[in-house]
Amino acid sequence: MADLPIAAVVRIAKKNGAERVGSDAAAVLVTKAEEYIANLTKEANRLALHAGRKTIKEEDVELAAKSA
């Protein structure tokens, strides 16, 4: 079961130009978004640990996004 609400992902897609989003496409968008967030979090966490912190900060996320 997905953690992200499908409606929120469909809303984001529509705000970015999609007129309609099929249910199969919405499910794939949710899956891919969750995969991206998971990978981004892993990299941000690695950066935080490298800096001697347990807490992920904004700068960790920004750096992780640039390297992704």
Domains and CATH numbers, the chain: 6-67 (1.10.20.10)
Angle CA 45–48–52, to nearest 5: 135
CA separation, residue 27 to residues 11, 19, 39, 51 (Å): 13, 16, 19, 36
The predicted structure's pLDDT at residue 40: 98
The predicted structure's pLDDT at residue 68: 73
Which letter does DSSP use for residue 1 in this model? -
pTM of the model: 0.89
The predicted structure's pLDDT at residue 17: 98
Question: pLDDT tens for residues 18-55?
Answer: 999 999 999 999 999 999 999 999 999 999 999 999 99
